[in-house]
Structure 1
Amino acid sequence: MSFIVIINNLLFLSLSVGAVCVLYTQGVGNREWREYGRTEVIDNTLNPDFVTKFILDYFFEERQNLRFDLRLERPLTNEDGTFTICHKTEVVKNTLDPVWQAFKIPVRALCNGDYDREIKIEVYDWDRDGGHDYIGEFSTSYRELSKGQSQFSVYEVLNPRKKKKKKKYQNSGTVSLRFMSSHVTNPLFLLLFFFSRTQINFTVAIDFTASNGNPSQPTSLHYLSPYQQNAYSMALRAVGEIIQDYDSDKMFPALGFGAKLPPDGRVSHEFALNGNPDNPYCSGIEGVMEAYYQSLKSVRLYGPTYFSPVINHVARYASLVKDGSEYFILLIISDGVISDMAQTKESIVNASALPMSIIIVGVGPAEFDEMIELDGDEIRISSRGRFAERDIVQFVPFRDYIDRRGNHILSMARLAKDVLAEIPDQFLQYMRTRGIKPQCPPQSYSSKLPAAPLQTQI
């Protein structure tokens, strides 16, 4: 005898409502809405269950605005309650104990993403002339099948006709599920699984050294114009507004370095922008912006430009997390030459073994040779003979993203796209090298506030 198995999935019956959902996406520069796609029309219900799925490319580094419009239109098509074939096995000939080869099938094709949707498996005795003899069937679901990952599953193959005619009929045989494995092979989906379970902790560090110029003068990079944002504000908002969507509590430590602080004029390279060293957290990017503006009014720009204190600050917290439940991103915005290059390299080499990434945005007209050196795209940085375990630094000069037509929205979108482009790969590389899989929702970073105030100063 020769056997073949046919797997069918159920198309649910949906009563029409004359409703259709239209998806619009928004352009980055001009903010215009464009129609991306639309669902089928569902008739006669206040709770339409649309079958059509919208498939969009996901970009970690961009804000992707979507708009869904519900409309009343004439019905076009509906699921009708019948089964449709989603897979056929090969034919196994000349045996009463067939073993079919393993096969792969997307979850979308198997059950349209619905783990509890009914799946029917039919078994036939294959005939060369195409008149295959029906042996029987059984029903299951993806959720039930997935138990085969941890246990051996046996299903009875039943023929409803024989069961109805013969009182002593038990079954027409059994089908054993010997092995099932469900996994994500696309890095994008793996990234989304991680992001749904990993707390992203975002920290800001802003350069308050004197090389930025007097904040009260229009020539200063810190100048607060009533008409437009300065380079620091634009860089901070461009990156922060994307990152904050991945931080569940949206409470961000905001630090400054290279300034003299009131009341005694001590120089600090790790001070809280909100003036509270015991709790440097700000609520959302708007809170960070407000703390930045207030700091410009209270501190005195000084120097030198030290990066290592703020890197070590974030690294202290990252070193406490080894299970992948949290990942740390530090944004440094600075205008010039790094004064503690050797110490900064050592800090980065140490941090490369931690769940941490560093973004550096250079503002102003400087050449930024040292900041480019820290970005290990071509040559992995080293310190005292040790090389960084992985590249965790991304540097971009802000001036390369200034739109000549004065479109600041487009400038900020381009900047955010490039500075955040490497974060997903850095994130996944850390998880993979540690053998870490997505975990349950983590404890918030804000619950690990330092017991003592920030200390780094001169």
Structure 2
Amino acid sequence: RNLLDMDTFSKSDPVVVLFVQGSGSSEWKEFGRTEVIDNTLNPDFVRKFVLDYYFEEKQNLRFDPPGSHGAVLGVQDFLGQAFVALGEVIGSQRGRLERPLTGVPGKRCGTILLLAEELSNCRDIVTMQLCANKLDKKDFFGKSDPFLVFYRSNEDGTFTICHKTEVVKNTLNPVWQPFTIPVRALCNGDYDRTVKIDVYDWDRDGSHDFIGEFATSYRELSRAQSQFTVYEVGRGAGAGGRGPPHTGANPPLRPQVLNPRKKCKKKKYVNSGTVTLLSFSVESEFTFVDYIRGGTQLNFTVAIDFTASNGECRRCWGGGGLHRPGRGAGADGRCAAGMPSQPTSLHYASPYQLSAYALALKAVGEIIQDYDSDKLFPAYGFGAKLPPDGKISHQFPLNNNVDNPSCAGIEGVLESYLQSLRTVQLYGPTNFAPVINQVAGTAAQVTDGSQYHVLLIITDGVISDMLQTKEAIVTASALPMSIIIVGVGPAEFEAMEELDGDEVRLSSRGRYAERDIVQFVPFRDYVDDSGNQVLSMARLAKDVLAEIPEQLLSYMKTRDIKPRQADP
């Protein structure tokens, strides 16, 4: 809108060139161009750019709207440019973002309007239930133990397994439990593609006996919605044997399960049983982007470890270990207040490089902030003695404002973190529960899906209040929140792995976590010898944030919360 007019006798002929910057890279690559629109300063471009979106990555975009004169972009054609992260567009209201164009000294270059939409691409999921009747008997001393195997047909004529039902023991008339499968897994979005279903008799040694097969398609299955309808299939091999569903006054035929070998050997062979579709329903699967476009805000909170095990402070020199006191330390071995000046301290920052704490904070925070409209982030410290009375605190605001612990942007959090290092005394112990309960209390106030909280804990050591922390996480798992833990330093982090809950579901006093809400990574795994700090931190952010969309969706699904419709 309101572009610069670069032509003498008419208006500009604008075109927009999109450049993308790879994660962890400083190089810009041209992704594509819009069409040229002649003689206008307020163009509406039709051509769209289709980008892969990853919540956990910083996907930087640059839009250059030069004039159309010349194949090569020249200075005479330059109308301005805009920089934006893809997450900013998606996280803006209704996925619509307006940015000023800049780059021409002394000129107002106008604005660029960006709109992001998620391609639907077959997001439906199907729930169906089947039963069978008079299947072949395969076991010598009993009836069959039947189960179904579903295959999706591929473009090259081969088949890929996409689902197996449970085994129903000792029956020729099984009723299988309802199951859910994405439509894209069942037919790759092609409603007429063949779906082959094999029927097997389960054997303990894995050599399952083939009972028979039949074929259908998603379209045929979907016609049976809300009806007790069966359809005839399997008159011949392959898709040609399918028949349409039978409805109306005539009695429906049951789908026949055929065994080709038996059919060839026995002239009187009819079938190996029939299968009935008991129910079939379809619903849309909501995505992370649906909720963000519907107005769900991600609220980011930071908690930083200020315990003495992080290392020596300004007046604590000498020694070399992370726990060893030097001159300036108290008689109890704790660090006195002051900025860390020894490289052995995990809070140490040189003039050329941030500390591990600051690096982890920037890597994660700069991505999440795109989904928070006010860019105000509560930030706490734990495990320090506070001035003036030396009281130990496990949830003190980094900005020293108890009533409003929020900092303006990630840079504001970093400033408050560095200021706290100058004023507090690193001490201990390492308690997580207070800050987890603090954020959980805030999350419990709004549970309608409009707010989701992400707590980032950066720590160096062993948790001192493990039992209380497990209890706090189990309670928080029922709330709209996730917890990211980044472990810095050389310590072993077995306790963090337990909290992560990927292998064993977290429990406390007989209660199990409703959801897996914790993601842990050790910082050292992302520090390589190449010296490419930008790439290393991009990898860190990608791994710690990858589970956030699924964790948000799991909360919404368990509470049956649907995305709000974006205002027009």
Query: What's the TM-score, normalizing by structure 2?
Result: 0.54
1:318 counterpart = 2:443 = yes
1:35 counterpart = 2:33 = no
The CA distance in 2 between the partners of 1:406 and 1:220, in whole Å, is: 20
Aligned partner of 1:193 among 290, 309, 317: 290
Counterpart in 2 of 1:426? 551
Deviations 1:398-421 (A, max 9, x none): 011113121111111111111000
* Structure 1 residues 58-137: aligned runs within 5 Å: 58-73=53-68
User: 2:412 is aligned with what amino acid?
Assistant: G
The CA distance in 2 between the partners of 1:22 and 1:266, in whole Å, is: 57
1:280 counterpart = 2:415 = no
Counterpart in 2 of 1:387? 512
Of all paired residues, the percent bearing the same amino acid is 70
1:217 counterpart = 2:314 = no
User: 2:22 is aligned with what amino acid?
Assistant: G
The CA distance in 2 between the partners of 1:435 and 1:424, in whole Å, is: 16
The CA distance in 2 between the partners of 1:439 and 1:261, in whole Å, is: 44
The CA distance in 2 between the partners of 1:423 and 1:311, in whole Å, is: 17
Counterpart in 2 of 1:177? none
CA contact (8 A) 1:17 1:41 kept: no
Deviations 1:255-279 (A, max 9, x none): 0000011001111111111111122
* Structure 1 residues 161-310: aligned runs within 5 Å: 185=284, 187=286, 190-196=287-293, 197-214=295-312, 215-310=340-435
CA contact (8 A) 1:18 1:75 kept: no
Counterpart in 2 of 1:130? none
Say which SS state the counterpart of residue 72 (structure 1) adopts: coil
Displacement of 1:193 = 2.5
Aligned partner of 1:45 among 8, 20, 40: 40
Displacement of 1:72 = 3.2
The CA distance in 1 between the partners of 2:420 and 2:464, in whole Å, is: 22
Counterpart in 1 of 2:204? none
Which structure: greater helix fraction? Answer: 1
Deviates more, 1:44-53 or 1:56-65: 44-53
Query: What's the TM-score, normalizing by structure 1?
Result: 0.67
Displacement of 1:56 = 0.4
Displacement of 1:434 = 0.7
Counterpart in 2 of 1:11? none
Unaligned runs of 5+ in 1: 1-15, 77-105, 109-182, 442-458
* Structure 1 residues 360-379: aligned runs within 5 Å: 360-379=485-504
Displacement of 1:185 = 4.3
Aligned partner of 1:397 among 504, 509, 522: 522
CA contact (8 A) 1:403 1:410 kept: no
Displacement of 1:440 = 7.3
Displacement of 1:294 = 0.6
The CA distance in 1 between the partners of 2:561 and 2:70, in whole Å, is: 47
Say which SS state the counterpart of residue 353 (structure 1) adopts: coil
The CA distance in 2 between the partners of 1:352 and 1:334, in whole Å, is: 21
Counterpart in 1 of 2:563? 438
The CA distance in 1 between the partners of 2:39 and 2:398, in whole Å, is: 57
The CA distance in 2 between the partners of 1:319 and 1:388, in whole Å, is: 16
Aligned residues: 322
Displacement of 1:427 = 0.4
Evaluate the alpha carbon distance shift between residue 386 and residue 107 of structure 1 in structure 2; reply closer, same or farther with a 3 A threshold.
closer
Counterpart in 2 of 1:12? none
Deviations 1:82-119 (A, max 9, x none): xxxxxxxxxxxxxxxxxxxxxxxx899xxxxxxxxxxx
Evaluate the alpha carbon distance shift between residue 407 and residue 43 of structure 1 in structure 2; reply closer, same or farther with a 3 A threshold.
same
User: 1:221 is aligned with what amino acid?
Assistant: L
Say which SS state the counterpart of residue 42 (structure 1) adopts: coil
Displacement of 1:75 = 12
Deviations 1:333-367 (A, max 9, x none): 00010011111111000000000000000000011
Aligned partner of 1:328 among 453, 456, 462: 453
The CA distance in 2 between the partners of 1:342 and 1:375, in whole Å, is: 14
User: 1:436 is aligned with what amino acid?
Assistant: I
1:408 counterpart = 2:505 = no
Displacement of 1:184 = 9.2
Deviates more, 1:430-439 or 1:412-421: 430-439
Displacement of 1:20 = 2.4
Counterpart in 2 of 1:8? none
Deviations 1:183-226 (A, max 9, x none): 99465xx3123113012111000000111011232210011321
Deviations 1:369-423 (A, max 9, x none): 1001111112111001111000000000001111312111111111111100000
User: 1:192 is aligned with what amino acid?
Assistant: V
User: 2:18 is aligned with what amino acid?
Assistant: L
Displacement of 1:27 = 2.0
Say which SS state the counterpart of residue 71 (structure 1) adopts: coil
CA contact (8 A) 1:43 1:75 kept: no
Say which SS state the counterpart of residue 42 (structure 2) adopts: coil
Displacement of 1:28 = 2.4
The CA distance in 2 between the partners of 1:184 and 1:284, in whole Å, is: 39
By relative contact order (CA 8 Å, sep 6+), the higher-ranking structure is: 1
Displacement of 1:21 = 1.8
User: 1:19 is aligned with what amino acid?
Assistant: P
Displacement of 1:17 = 7.0
User: 2:289 is aligned with what amino acid?
Assistant: L
The CA distance in 2 between the partners of 1:39 and 1:17, in whole Å, is: 15
